[in-house]
Amino acid sequence: MAKKILVIDDVKSELDLISHYLEQAGYVVTGIENGLEVFDKVKADRPDVIVTDLVMPDITGLELCRKLKKDPDTADIPVVACTTKSRNMDKSWAKKQGVVGYVVKPCTADQLVEAVRFAIL
């Protein structure tokens, strides 16, 4: 059975591209543009991995990750960041917040899929 990926990005074109990369790799992808919808979506249809942008208006990807990691029902869902933030400090801070994979935009399909595959292991 194909793994389910939830993708969160407030920029529709980025959301569509990331979703396309993952669908082409055989994943079942659900995309949402508002990070605040994540919690209801996760409860309704638990994903195997969450791929999120870090820079979003309503809730940042790191805030989202912290909330997921604090909840025992969602703490074990791996989170992969797909973001324009490329500094080592950003990557380090994201890992401290529970992010298991980090991909810098623009990225290739291979880079993104590799990060997701690693997160599923």
Its CATH architecture, for the domain 4-120, is: 3-Layer(aba) Sandwich (3.40)
Euclidean distance between CA atoms 55 and 121, whole angstroms: 26
Ordered by start, the domain boundaries in the chain are 4-120
pLDDT at 1 over 90: no
Band (pLDDT 50/70/90 cuts) for residue 59 is: very high
Residue-wise pLDDT tens digits, 8-50: 999 999 999 999 999 999 999 999 999 889 999 998 999 999 9
CA-closest candidate to residue 81, choices 67, 91, 69 = 91
pLDDT reported for residue 121: 85
